[in-house]
């Protein structure tokens, strides 16, 4: 398990704002966002999830937090950081809690990693950051050691000790820490832990660049802290999705593209007997000449399915065909083209033409009896059917077909055959989804087009949850006035996330719909055609494979970009490309042209997706990039 999945982040924003004109520090505008937004962007890559502790202006903090919780103190009266820590530990769903204040947007991106290493090495309950600093009023004085208790990583299990400490009426962080075993971690850059305490500090930092040691402290101006990084969204889906348990036994010829529910155990050795790897002559290796030549008498012929059962004697051999059983006493096969001479019923062999033991396929060399021939979870391909048949197994246990319901949303959509009114478009997404789901081997349930109406959408989701294991919608998950999917999901179940730091496909909802008739995982995909396909491949497809009990890893390879590609750090981008082999034999890729998320023709022209990762910037011509081939996906 990764460290990130073990840690919950807590932003401490529960103060009164007395130093900034009674306005909460976290809500102060700073470099195109709010202070708390910058801290959230800094903290999110290090933790599984983030919560904000605040005691007033909760709607404003919730607007920044998105789907993350905003937690007011359990203790009344603005009781300080320990009160925020208490509610954070009460909420914490992981084993560790990492804290940072809302007014310090420059802390290190490896804060959690370094604090955790010290905790583990010292067997501590918590770890805190420490720096060496100088008094600005006494610049010639020796530096002093400055602890930063609000930058701490601690075990969630310390909550009872904190509760007991707060019950005494004490509120000082130092007093509580004395009750724990604390590891202190020295950081070189004191400025990284500086806080913005006053309006003067805020204006000064607005005018100056971020500290050199923390150039990534500030997110891009249009970054959205509520937008989840792609890898984090994929991890959350993987953690929640489990295989469907129901299985069925099918004849081998009906099992193509189904996921094995149990290991295939080989009942026999494969091959079942020692056999020849080629046409030639079977003989005893001990009779091979050490020097000069030796002549062998041919005493018979062994065919595949018709073994020769007589054991050759010294300087005797057996003519043998590929796949035929090795005659008794023989341990080597001379390919006929390596014979020095062949004359009727005799064969001459030169020294060093053959090593003893060559050109045999030993019994059980491919599979041993009792060994695993194919592991559970494998999607059965044609070669797998052949292997299973070679074992004499006529039927297999597979996961039942996954039932997936899908529909499109939007008053502007028309089905094929309908009149296309002004302002309307034909619904292409359902046909794309039908193709991708069918190719994946799902049992598809097409629910058509659902209009932009909360009651209609709720009815469609209830209907789908009673019929399917998963639901896929297209459209209706952005922040437009007519986009209801996310709200209805929250009414009927839960929404794990609904906005991603990616392009195309930023609005994407994932959660669970639960009704009296049944429950189903829901993937609310965007409405633009390209975004639908990209979102399906990156999120829905791996999740559906996991539900099928099959391996769901996305495979990429590297190719050289033939042209410069523009890319903004802070989001993952998927661009359509055409990969080919360059003159030097190295894979190369070029874009298909315009990359708008509504240009479906770019997907038909492309044979791959160019994957530009979250932190990646512009790509120069000649630089290697990751690509995902459509072959195997589409």
Give binding residues for GTP as ranges.
12-14, 25, 53, 73, 103
Taking alpha carbons only, the member of 71, 85, 9 closest to residue 45 is: 9
Element holding 112 (H helix, E strand):
helix 111-122
Report DSSP letters for 225-260, one per residue.
TTSBPHHHHHHHHHHH------EEEEEGGG-TTPBB
Peptide bond into 271 cis (omega under 30): yes
Q: How far apart are CA 329 and CA 295, in angstroms?
A: 18
Helix or strand (DSSP H, E) at 511: strand 507-514
**DSSP string for residues in 277-305:** SSSEEEE-GGGS-SSSEEEEEEEEEEBTT
Look-up of token digits 């970009």: 561
Q: Which structure tokens are listed for 90?
A: 């009460």
Q: Tell how far CA 408 is from the center of its chain.
A: 26
Q: Is the peptide bond before 504 cis (omega within 30 degrees of 0)?
A: yes
DSSP string, 91-110: H--SSEEEEEETT-TT--TT
Show the tokens assigned to 88: 């954070």
CA–CA distance, 317 with 296 (Å, rounded to integer): 6
User: How many whole angstroms separate alpha carbon 436 and alpha carbon 430?
Assistant: 10
Cα–Cα distances in Å, from 214 out to 38, 101, 108, 204, 210?
12, 16, 7, 17, 7
| Cα 436 versus chain centre, distance | 19
CA atoms within 13 A on the CB side of 352: 2
C-alpha angle with apex 103: 572 to 615, nearest 5 degrees?
15
Q: Quote the tokens at residue 228.
A: 């989840």
Separation of alpha carbons 307 and 446, rounded Å: 58
Nearest to 474 by CA among 440, 454, 491, 450: 450
Instruction: List, as residue ranges, the binding site.
Output: 12-14, 25, 53, 73, 103
Give, as one character, the DSSP assignment of residue 156: G
Binding-site residues for Mg(2+), please?
Answer: 103
For 529-577, the DSSP string reads HHHHHHHIIIIIHHHHHHHTTS--PPP-EEEEESS-B---TTSEEEEEE
């Amino acid at each position: 398990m990764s460290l990130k999945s073990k840690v919950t982040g807590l932003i401490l924003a529960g103060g009164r704002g007395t130093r900034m004109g009674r306005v909460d520090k976290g809500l102060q505008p700073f470099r195109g966002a709010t202070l708390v937004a910058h801290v959230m962007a800094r903290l999110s890559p290090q933790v599984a999830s983030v919560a904000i502790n605040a005691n007033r202006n909760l709607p404003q903090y919730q607007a920044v937090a998105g789907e993350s919780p905003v937690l007011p103190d359990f203790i009344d009266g603005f009781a300080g950081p320990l009160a925020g820590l208490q509610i954070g530990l009460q909420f914490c769903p992981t084993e560790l809690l990492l804290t940072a204040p809302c007014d310090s947007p420059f802390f290190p991106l490896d804060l959690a990693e370094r604090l955790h290493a010290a905790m583990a090495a010292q067997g501590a309950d918590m770890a805190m950051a420490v720096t060496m600093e100088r008094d600005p009023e006494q610049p010639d004085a020796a530096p002093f050691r400055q602890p930063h208790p609000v930058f701490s990583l601690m075990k969630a299990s310390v909550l009872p000790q904190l509760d007991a400490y707060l019950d005494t009426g004490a509120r000082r962080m130092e007093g509580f820490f004395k009750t724990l075993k604390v590891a202190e971690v020295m950081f070189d850059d004191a400025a990284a832990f500086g806080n913005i305490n006053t309006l003067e500090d805020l204006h000064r930092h607005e005018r100056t660049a971020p500290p050199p040691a923390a150039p990534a402290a500030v997110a891009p101006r249009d970054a959205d802290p509520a937008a989840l990084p792609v890898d984090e969204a994929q991890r959350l889906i993987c953690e929640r999705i489990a295989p469907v348990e129901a299985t069925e036994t099918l004849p081998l010829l009906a099992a193509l593209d189904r996921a094995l529910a149990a290991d295939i155990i080989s009942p026999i050795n494969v091959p079942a007997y020692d056999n020849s790897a080629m046409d030639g002559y079977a003989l005893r290796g001990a009779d091979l000449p050490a020097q000069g030549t030796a002549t062998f008498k041919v005493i018979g012929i062994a065919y595949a399915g018709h073994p020769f059962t007589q054991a050759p004697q010294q300087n005797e051999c057996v003519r043998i065909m590929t796949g035929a059983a090795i005659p008794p006493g023989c341990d080597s096969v001379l390919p006929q083209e390596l014979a020095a001479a062949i004359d009727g019923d005799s064969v001459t062999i030169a020294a060093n033409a053959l090593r003893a033991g060559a050109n045999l396929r030993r019994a059980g060399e491919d599979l041993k009896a009792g060994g695993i021939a194919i592991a559970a979870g494998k999607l059965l391909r044609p070669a797998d059917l052949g292997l299973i048949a070679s074992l004499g197994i006529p039927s297999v246990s597979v996961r039942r077909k996954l039932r997936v319901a899908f529909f499109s949303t939007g008053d502007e959509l028309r089905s094929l055959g309908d009149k296309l009114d002004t302002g309307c478009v034909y619904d292409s997404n359902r046909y794309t989804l039908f193709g991708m789901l069918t190719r994946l081997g799902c049992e598809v349930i097409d629910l058509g087009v659902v209009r932009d109406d909360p009651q209609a959408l709720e009815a469609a989701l209830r209907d789908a949850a009673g019929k399917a294991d998963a639901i896929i919608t297209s459209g209706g998950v952005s922040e437009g006035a007519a986009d209801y999917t996310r709200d209805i999901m929250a009414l009927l179940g839960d929404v794990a996330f609904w906005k991603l730091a990616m392009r195309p496909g930023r609005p994407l909802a994932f959660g669970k719909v639960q009704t009296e008739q049944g429950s189903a995982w829901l993937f609310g995909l965007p409405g633009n055609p390209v975004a639908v396909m990209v979102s399906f491949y990156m999120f829905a497809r791996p999740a559906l494979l996991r539900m099928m009990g099959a391996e769901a890893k996305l495979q990429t390879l590297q190719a050289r970009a033939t042209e410069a590609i523009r890319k903004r750090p802070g989001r993952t981008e998927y661009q359509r490309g055409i990969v080919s082999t360059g003159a030097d034999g190295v894979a190369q890729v070029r874009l298909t042209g315009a990359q708008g998320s509504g240009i479906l023709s770019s997907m038909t022209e492309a044979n791959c997706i160019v994957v530009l990762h979250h932190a990646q910037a512009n790509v120069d011509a000649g630089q290697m990039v990751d690509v995902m081939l459509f072959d195997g996906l589409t």
